[in-house]
Amino acid sequence: MITVENLTKSFQGVSALNGVTLDVEAGTVLGVVGPSGAGKSTLARCVALLERPDSGAIRVDGTDITSLDGSALRAARRQIGVVPQGDSLLRQRTAAGNIALPLESAGVPGPQRRTRVGELLDLVGLTDKAAAYPDQLSGGQRQRIAVARALAANPSVLLADEPTSALDPETTGSVLTVLDRARAELGVTVLVVTHDMNVVRKICDDVAVLEQGRVVEHGKVLDLVGNPVSRTSSALLPAVDLNPINESSYDRVADVVLVGFAAVGALLPEAAHRFGVELNIVGGGLTRLGETPVARFRLGLNGERSDSALEWIGEAGGAVQRSLKGPQGVAA
Amino acid sequence: MRSATPWSDVITYLVEATGETLYMVGVSTVIATVLGVPVGVWLQLTAKGGLRPNTAVHRVLSFVTDLGRSMPFIVLLVALTSVTRLIVGGSIGSTAVIVPLAVGAIPFVGRLVQNILSEVHVTVVEAAITTGASTLKIVRSVLIRESLPALINAIGVTVIALIGYSAMAGVIGGGGLGDLAIREGYQRFNDRILWSTVAWLAVLTTVIQLGFTRAARAFDRRRHASV
Ligand SMILES: Nc1ncnc2c1ncn2[C@@H]1O[C@H](COP(=O)(O)OP(=O)(O)O)[C@@H](O)[C@H]1O
Ligand SMILES: [Mg+2]
């Protein structure tokens, strides 16, 4: 749906994007993460058609949008809903009036406009705030109105730059729910820029890690978490604290990532049972990526067939990350 | 030693002069607003970071605006005599004062308006851009509507400034409150007229200022909106 090819952009000779290539499949949510100054906003602004890249292409539904002008540019902008970074609502308009703005730009007549605004207020759960002005809304409510506005003209793509950065964790949840509904109920393709890994955990199918204007990692979140050396995995999964005292009493110590209900629930007891080993969780924990439970555990095993048990866990779908304590480490 | 002018006469003088002042200031404010707001919009559109940045146009426009603003009004009043005659068919009287007042106020309004429009946050403007809105739509629905309270206050400031300028109207026989204070009051040593006019001017400008502040607040939906 969105394809970014070899995008470059520099400001006064300072490079902000350095050959960025990405794609977002239709109806999925891509999270663009990375440290401050990595070029996330610049990328978002290029896709939002607020900034023209120096070179490269941005295709939305196959059409390159980087070189449009005039009315073609305005039409393309209507295809891309944008939730800008920071406060962006008109303070002199009601919530409903703000949501209506893109519809006015698109020349939608009054009665249809009101119907559509009603639908969007419902989508973001703020029907009772239709007549409220932005200064009467909380930060989370304002952000939901901004999402509703971005969705008003039925765009195929929704772009959000740090939609939750100014919000507390609770309010963040309500904004993420709205973004998730946009994808689920409207089939919109979402690109969300964030430095908050919780956003990735909760709503992203894919993730792209940007560093110094380059994509250093890009793929499905559930694939990347199973890869022990991926940045996504170390950022998203629970930390496995070192606990040498605990670990010294085991023949084998290994880290394992388990993805999905079946793996998380059943794999470890099954391994212990099959191979007749003692298997304990000595570190790590459980998290949730979207609807999928994902665990990273540090396991301590005792028993002759510990290596076989670990091998079996790997074959059964768990990602055994590393054996911290191999055969040579076993005390004589 | 003359006896003081009777109060009834003072009031007659004040009423007549107030009418002249309001006429001169009112009409020139309307003209200055109608022509000055577009100048301000144009200044802001062409400014760096504006919707249609154009350094060359912006420089020329800024230069002309600042030149107009720095021109002493009394000079404008006499320098524009021939233009005034062309437009209003005469070069003396209240109507004739309107031309230099309006001409002097256009750049004044233009600069005020530009400063006000530049205060609209860039994120808000960009959000509107991303909706596919045309430049005209953004000017109307975002720049002007978002700054309406400040713009109304700016018109109030302009009215007060024009009341000040109109005091020099007497030079070309325009009459008005300033003229009354100077000619009947000061030059004829008529303290009663002089101080009554001063007091009345204070009341008048305060009321006008208050009116504009109220109107601005009525249009402002920020903070204590009434819903
Ligand atoms: N308009 C601009 N003018 C100059 N430099 C800019 C501008 N926008 C971004 N940059 C620079 O580009 C780099 C990337 O910035 P940005 O895209 O905002 O990063 P992020 O959103 O990941 O924090 C930074 O070094 C920043 O200073
Ligand atoms: Mg940013």
- pLDDT tens digit string along A57-82? 999 988 899 989 889 999 999 999 99
Average pLDDT over residues B128-150: 96
Number of domains in chain B: 1
Indicate if the pLDDT at residue B227 is higher than 60.
no
pLDDT for A324 beyond 70: no
CATH of the domain at B95: 1.10.3720.10
CB hemisphere CA count around A35 (13 angstroms): 5
Asked whether this complex has an ipTM greater than 0.90, the answer is no
Residue B130 has pLDDT above 80, yes or no: yes
Confidence grade of residue A328 (pLDDT, cut at 50, 70, 90): very low
The pairing of beta strand A252-259 with beta strand A319-323: antiparallel
- The confidence score (pLDDT) of residue A320 equals 85
Which of A15, A36, A41 for mutating ligand 1's site (highest number of atoms within 8 Å of CB)?
A41
- Bridge partner residues of A59 (DSSP): A3, A64
Shortest Cα distance from B126 to chain A (angstroms)?
A: 7
What CA–CA distance (Å, rounded) separates A80 from A188? 10
Task: Kindly state whether residue B227 falls inside one of the protein's structural domains.
Answer: no
Measured distance CA(A20)–CA(A39) in Å, rounded: 10
For A219, counting Cβ atoms within 10 Å of its Cβ (0-12 exposed, 13-18 middle, 19+ buried), the class is middle
Mean pLDDT of A19-32: 95
The pLDDT tens digits for A207-254 are 999 999 999 999 999 999 888 788 888 888 888 876 666 677 888 888
The average pLDDT across B58-74 equals 93
Residue of A nearest to B137 (CA): A105
User: Looking at the domain assignment, is residue B131 inside a domain?
Assistant: yes
Q: What is the mean pLDDT of chain A?
A: 90
Question: Measuring from each residue's beta carbon to the nearest atom of ligand 1, which residues come in under 6 Å?
Answer: A 11, 16, 34, 36-42
pLDDT at A332 over 60: no
The alpha-helical segments, DSSP class H, found in chain B are 7-46, 55-70, 73-79, 81-88, 94-117, 122-130, 135-138, 145-146, 148-166, 177-179, 191-218
User: Could you say which DSSP state residue B93 is in?
Assistant: S
Q: Write the residue in B121, B133, B221 that is nearest to A105 by C-beta.
A: B133
Task: Go through the domains of chain A in sequence order and give each one's CATH number.
Answer: 2-233 (3.40.50.300), 238-322 (3.30.70.260)
pLDDT of B223? 67
- Mean pLDDT over A292-305 rounds to 90
Kindly indicate the confidence band of residue A326, based on its pLDDT and cuts at 50, 70 and 90.
low
CA-to-CA distance for B223 and B212, rounded, in angstroms? 19
pLDDT of residue A331: 36
Answer yes or no: is B1 within a domain.
no
Q: How confident is the model at residue A166 (pLDDT cuts 50, 70, 90)?
A: confident
Share of chain A above pLDDT 70, in %: 95
d(CA A178, CA A125): 8
Predicted confidence band of residue A101 (pLDDT cuts 50, 70, 90): very high
Higher pLDDT among residues A226 and A161, named by residue: A161
Specify the pLDDT at position B173.
83
Per-residue confidence (pLDDT) for residue A243, from 0 to 100: 66
Bridge-based pairing state of the strands A29-33 and A189-193: parallel
Looking at residue A322, what is its pLDDT?
A: 65
- For residue B21, being part of any structural domain is answered with yes
What pLDDT does residue B31 have? Answer: 97
For atom 3 of ligand 1, which residue has the closest CA? A11
Please check whether residue B37 is in contact with residue B113, taking contact to mean a CB–CB distance below 8 angstroms. Answer: yes
A287 φ, ψ to 5°?
-140, -175
Whether B223 maps to a domain, the answer reads no
Could you list the residue range(s) of the whole structural domain that residue B63 is in? Answer: 7-218
Q: Which pair of tokens denotes residue B55?
A: 């350094």
pLDDT of residue A33 exceeding 70 = yes
Residue of A88, A128, A147 for testing the chain B interface, max B β-carbons within 10 Å: A88
